[in-house]
Structure 1
Amino acid sequence: MTGTLTGPLSGRVAFVAGGSGPVGRAISRTLSGMGASVAVHYRSSASAAHEFAETLDSPSIAVGARFDDRAEVDAAFTAVESALGPVTILVNAAHTPSPVTAFAEVTDSQLDAQFDSTRGHVVLAQRALPGMRRAGWGRVVYLSGALMTRPYAGFSAYAAAKSAASTFTRYIALEEGVNGITATVVALGRVIDPDDDEPLDEAHQQFAERLLDRMALSEFPCVDDVAGVVSLAVGPHSTHLTGQTLWVTGGEPIA
């Protein structure tokens, strides 16, 4: 934590689930730069998450929790509320990685892992909603994937879990709008992290090449591009942006 920053989100507290990952870090930096205090959620790599939180421009902390565990999520939110104040922005960028597996070979453990991520989104949002209702203002953003509507072999469990969580997000928008709460899905294709030079395995490389051939733009979006779209969904002009899916896919056809 380096100090207090004024901006369009000054006075707001954002909980960024998966905030220690590449996309989550970009989102946390952007929201902090807009004046929000940020809770950087992590599931592992505690020391790295705490070090990152200390670099942000607004009062921020790191909190650990299994995001599909109600007791751990409640403890994390309680810590954030004590340190920073009530959470009125929830951004869920957390999801369990998925190996490339043909549908006929998807295992029960893979299904459990993927749908635990869906359960996690429900748990996080249900914990955040009461505080948002009391404030009369709230923003929920779920980072989904374009695979939920654009099938690609080997990603069935991941895509189904993303689709389910996206549907829950739209229902949050429908049912909580009366309380001043909006909910938006940000659906990603392939996203580049400029700080990651790890080569893709063969299956993911083939997937990336196919996506690039289908895109209107000539390069993949980067993590900061995603953060910019999230900032739109929670920023001062987001009042009537709800129940929508914003596609950050470089113009790749979805249908």
Structure 2
Amino acid sequence: MTAAGPVALVAGATGPIGRSVVRALAAEGARVVALSRSGEQVPGCVQALDCDLGDPSALDAAMSTLEASWGPVEILVNAAHPSADFGTPVAELDPGVLAGQLAGVTAHAALCARVVPGMRRLGRGRVVYVAGASMARPLPGAGGYAAAKAAGAVLTRHLALEEGGAGITANVVAPGRVLDPVAPDEPSGPAAALGQELGRRLALPTFPSPDDVAAAVCLLVASPALTGQTIWVTGGEPIAA
């Protein structure tokens, strides 16, 4: 970390996981810029920027504003993803819906392309992609979302291989079901049955929280030796991957 604290960019900062990551990185001394569609101020951030990651010109403008104020990004945490459809079987998945999910992978690549050159110049950097356990544990109706998250994870592991020589690490955090204590998720219908089934598979008494996911992110940010790894934050639910 630099004397003033590294510059961290958290995309998807207004979601439960993104908010926890912002707070956790700020507590570790990072100067955190929160990126979201709304530009909402998030506790712990030094600046909040609005940006549609699917718009290259909007991303370029947001990054230019960030760099002018704080300098190059040393830490990128991407917790952003398009709204997911968890109810459609793969055989009935509309191509447009699938393309919408895969747009999250394109956005992740665009973020990496924008921040990695600065990391190379610094001689250090951290990239953490927030995926999901469904990329390795199939769930009915989640095929499009899972395929996109799996693609983002693969992209991140390739980045780790390609950029390690520049002192850049790239890792994946893959949460299972996450319960936000501030806004508990109380599913109904098929989602409730799925939640019960996942609960029976846990090794721990309860599902992880957003703070648990943020703790895994901070572990990866702190370590210069961990790269190309996936940490499954699932409460001990068995993952065959």
- The SS at the match of 2:131 is strand
- The SS at the match of 2:178 is coil
Task: Name the aligned partner's letter for residue 46 of structure 2.
Answer: S
How much does 1:97 deviate? 2.3
Write the distance in 1 (CA, Å) between the matches of 2:89 and 2:115.
Answer: 36
User: Equivalent residue for 1:143?
Assistant: 130
Write the distance in 1 (CA, Å) between the matches of 2:160 and 2:187.
Answer: 36
Deviates more, 1:108-117 or 1:168-177: 108-117
Q: Structure 1 stretches (4+) deviating beyond 4 angstroms?
A: 7-10
Q: For the aligned residues, what is the CA RMSD? A: 1.5
Once the two structures are superposed, residues 187-242 of structure 1 have per-residue CA deviations (whole angstroms, 9 ceiling, x without a partner) of 1100111111453232222221111111111100001111111000101xx11100
Contact in 2 for aligned 1:10/1:34 (Cα 8 Å) = no
How much does 1:72 deviate? 1.3
User: Equivalent residue for 2:19?
Assistant: 25
Matches within 5 A, 1:82-231: 82-99=68-85, 100-197=87-184, 199-231=186-218
Q: Mark the runs of 5 or more structure 1 residues left unpaired by the alignment.
A: 1-6
Write the distance in 2 (CA, Å) between the matches of 1:253 and 1:35.
Answer: 34
> Could you tell me which of 232, 238, 248 is aligned with 2:233?
248
User: Equivalent residue for 2:221?
Assistant: 234
> Could you tell me which of 6, 12, 15 is aligned with 2:9?
15
How much does 1:9 deviate? 8.3
- The SS at the match of 2:61 is helix
TM-score (norm 2): 0.95
Contact in 1 for aligned 2:24/2:214 (Cα 8 Å) = yes
- The SS at the match of 2:52 is coil
Write the distance in 2 (CA, Å) between the matches of 1:43 and 1:187.
Answer: 23
Once the two structures are superposed, residues 156-214 of structure 1 have per-residue CA deviations (whole angstroms, 9 ceiling, x without a partner) of 00000000000000000000001000000001100111111453232222221111111
TM-score (norm 1): 0.90
Q: Give aligned pairs, total.
A: 239
Write the distance in 1 (CA, Å) between the matches of 2:70 and 2:178.
Answer: 31
Deviates more, 1:65-74 or 1:182-191: 65-74
